[in-house]
Amino acid sequence: MTDPGAGLGGPALLELRDVGKDFGSVIALDGISTTVRAGEVTCVLGDNGAGKSTLIKILAGVHRPDRGQVLLDGQPVSFSAPRDALDAGIATVYQDLAMIPLMAIWRNFFLGAEPTRGRGPFRRFDSARAKEVTRRELLAMGIDIRDPDQPVGTLSGGERQSVAIARAVHFGARVLILDEPTSALGVKQAGIVLRYIAQARDRGVGVVFITHNPHHAHPVGDRFLLLGRGRSLGDFAKGEVSVEEITRLMAGGAELAELTTELERPLPQKDGS
């Protein structure tokens, strides 16, 4: 585990330099640069179609960039499959979470971890130990589940995200990528997930937090990359940008002002017509 104090301006764990990606004639990303450090949260903000998912798919080994470089520990990397990124310690939690609602929490916790320990048909899974590990790891993240045998489907949306985060941290993620983990949640549930993002950060993980909500990003973010139609609208360190500026840059100031005018009620006519 990385020293939690190693963050806060330490060397970059992950770095993007002028990354670009096209889908046919669509320029999904162009000239994107940012940094992810251990024990820090890099937020990627942008509206629908901004290129957020494309960016994380590059980091997760799903897509290869057409331009620019991705560096891990200062070394250029080229992932040809998600497995490569995972082996390098980059874990991604997608919106659908890849969890099975009817399955017990502890089974979901170990789901997908089997390939590294495969020993043919005679492999035995130590369920008592798996339950114990699940309970302990979730407790370390501040989640007190009473019963690891409980189906994942009985957990709240926020708790489910948290199980996915705890799982990634347990299996040794150095970089944890979260694709809009708070977007489908209410205010209270979103707060729970933000707390677990902070927990992962405090354990020394470099977190990439994708969201379109500046109010979710700002309290936990150490760095903010703003995307608009595949271009960078800025890559700021905490303190260099306010939540209002993030909102304004994302909305494209003028467009928002125009919309506000358009939505204003017309003044009532004096003659009542």
Ligand X SMILES: Nc1ncnc2c1ncn2[C@@H]1O[C@H](COP(=O)(O)OP(=O)(O)O)[C@@H](O)[C@H]1O
Residues of this chain that bind ligand X (CB under 6 A):
23, 26, 28, 46, 48-54
First-to-last CA distance in the chain?
71
* Residues in contact with 245: Cβ distance below 8 Å, sequence separation at least 6, in sequence order: none
Task: Tell me which of Mg ion, ligand X, none is bound by residue 81, counting a contact when its beta carbon lies within the kind-specific cut-off of 5 to 8 angstroms.
Answer: none
Does residue 54 touch Mg ion according to CB under 5 A?
Answer: no
Give yes or no for residue 211 binding Mg ion (CB under 5 A): no
**Which of the choices ligand X, Mg ion, none does residue 49 contact, using the CB cut-off of 5 to 8 A by kind?**
ligand X
Task: Compute CA distances 214 → 57, 149, 209, 243, 248, whole Å.
Answer: 22, 36, 11, 6, 10
Of the candidates 77, 143, 67, the residue with the CA atom closest to the CA atom of residue 105: 143
Q: Which is nearer to ligand X, 134 or 161 (CB)?
A: 161
Residue 51 site contact among ligand X, Mg ion, none (CB < 5 to 8 Å, cut-off depends on kind): ligand X
Q: With binding defined as CB under 5 A, does residue 53 bind Mg ion?
A: yes
Strands of 12-23's sheet, edge to edge? 26-37, 12-23, 67-72, 75-77
User: Which window, 45-53, 67-75, 117-125, 237-245, contacts Mg ion (CB under 5 A)?
Assistant: 45-53
46 binds, among Mg ion, ligand X, none (CB under 5 to 8 A by kind): ligand X
Which is closer to Mg ion, CB of 96 or CB of 264?
A: 96
By the rule CB under 5 A, 35 interacts with Mg ion: no
Distance CA(156)–CA(171), nearest Å, equals: 23
Please tell me what DSSP assigns to residue 104: B
Angle at 116 between CA 158 and CA 11, to 5 degrees: 65
Between 21 and 131, whose beta carbon lies closer to Mg ion?
21
Question: Please, are residues 192 and 158 in contact by the beta-carbon 8 Å criterion?
Answer: yes
Interaction partner, residue 21 (Mg ion, ligand X, none; CB < 5-8 Å by kind): none
Q: Quick one: what does residue 23 bind among Mg ion, ligand X, none, with the CB cut-off 5 to 8 Å set by partner type?
A: ligand X
- Decide whether 56 or 155 has the Cβ nearer to ligand X: 56
Greatest Cα-to-Cα distance within the chain, rounded to the nearest angstrom? 87
State in angstroms the smallest separation of the CB of 14 from Mg ion.
Answer: 19
Q: How far is the CB of 225 from Mg ion (least distance, A)?
A: 14
